[in-house]
Amino acid sequence: MLSKTMEEALNEQINAEFYSSYMYLSMSSYFEAVGLSGCAIWMQAQAQEEWFHGTKIYHYVLGRGGRVILKAIAQPQSGWDSTLSAFENVLTHEQKVTGLINELVNLALDERDHATNIFLQWFVSEQVEEEATVGDVLNKLKLIGGDASGLFVLDQELGQRIFTPPVQAK
């Protein structure tokens, strides 16, 4: 059985993951509007991944006999100054989410909730991967600078991304 504190903290994280999904969907619509359909596809996949994260926690809370309370999802930003600034926003957002996951792990350890600690380890690893992936895109964008043909090639590369949910999780 989850403690009330842990249950509430996991409910907050469900909201944070769904907000992330909403934010990346907003970025996807921004990229559609500026004609970068590959970046839009990349953000769509990112949004699906975040939705998966939220539902993964949702199922975990229910599986531990907890109560899921869905809260309002805040309105995300709708425009960015450039492709670079949008992807910089992805990185700062993911760094913030990493901090939230680390706080959850700290709480699980404080409460000696070993099951939740083990559950959260998947998210710890996922955050390392997410930060590395967006860091890679940012490095390429910095190399490209103002070169439109370079951006066109990167846009095509990013458009190859497909989200496939991991099989082991609900």
Give contact residues for ligand FEO (rule: CB under 6 A): 17, 20, 50, 53, 94, 97, 130
36 vs 97 by CB, closer to ligand FEO: 97
Of residues 58, 53, 56, 60, the one with CA closest to residue 127 = 53
2 vs 90 by CB, closer to ligand FEO: 90
7 vs 50 by CB, closer to ligand FEO: 50
Closest distance of CB 45 from ligand FEO, Å: 12
Closest distance of CB 93 from ligand FEO, Å: 7
Closest distance of CB 21 from ligand FEO, Å: 8
50 vs 155 by CB, closer to ligand FEO: 50
* CB count in 10 Å sphere of residue 164: 9
Cβ-proximal residue to ligand FEO, closest one = 53
Closest distance of CB 164 from ligand FEO, Å: 16
40 vs 151 by CB, closer to ligand FEO: 40
Give kind and range of the element (H or E) at residue 136: helix 114-144
Dist. CA 51–CA 49, nearest whole Å: 5
User: Treating both helix axes as pointing N-terminal to C-terminal, what angle do 114-144 and 37-63 enclose, rounded to 10 degrees?
Assistant: 170
Closest distance of CB 147 from ligand FEO, Å: 29
DSSP string, 89-122: HHHHHHHHHHHHHHHHHHHHHHTT-HHHHHHHHH
Both structure tokens of 57? 């926690």
Residue pair 126/53 in contact by the 8 Å Cβ criterion: yes
